[in-house]
Amino acid sequence: MNVKTLTRDLQRVFTNSVILYQDDFYLSDSDIPVASNGLQDWDCPEAFDFEYMKWVLEHAKEHGKLPEKFKSLEETQTLGPTSASEEDIDKIKSSLPDDNKNQQFVLVDGIMLFHASSPLIDLFDVKLMLRAPYAELKKRREAREGYATLEGFWTDPPGYFDQIVWPGYVNNHKHLFINENVEEQLHPQFSALNVPQDIHWPPHKVLQWAVDRINF
């Protein structure tokens, strides 16, 4: 299960919720940083407008909805099917405490929420992180046809995952892990960051785990 799928399934459980997609805060195409190999780097913190995202998140937490002037490009994209069946969703919803059924939630989806200098960390009440093996992440990324951007459309060039995506993930998240090895366990100082015990859990189990973490 990828992060976006989990986020959408969580919205089906917590119906009084809004989703804030980090992808909506990419800079204009012409402002995306260029790596030393000459390729635009869409997978680094500098590719996003974090200050604007922070303002939108603060507004959503205070008012329970996104600012009226904020328009999500991501919501208009074809995001693919959700993973959980209606039966799974109904079962999980029926187990929620009554006070949580009317609680409002802001679900934040993104690839760079927990980088070392993220200004968003202190705004999250619950922090969830999904992990997957290198081979699985590469397979998912290279299966994508491309992405709508503010000024057009982006398609990863050949070799982009190994040249940009994976090194970017490692460089921006190694501080979270023991010995700065992203294949290791989380460092104890980041115990507030929740990660599934098994990266091979089926989607319905990942969803139940996430709901349990939120429903603390």
**Burial (CB count <10 Å: 0-12, 13-18, 19+), residue 53:** buried
- 67, 56 Cβ separation under 8 angstroms: yes
Which of 23, 24, 41, 109 is labelled catalytic? Answer: 23
Q: How far apart are CA 184 and CA 200, in angstroms?
A: 15
Catalytic site includes residue 23: yes
Closest by CA to 75, choosing from 148, 151, 156, is: 148
Q: Name residue, tokens 């119906």.
A: 15
The beta strand positions in 28-169, using DSSP E, are 105-109, 127-128, 147-148, 153-154
The residues assigned a catalytic role are 23
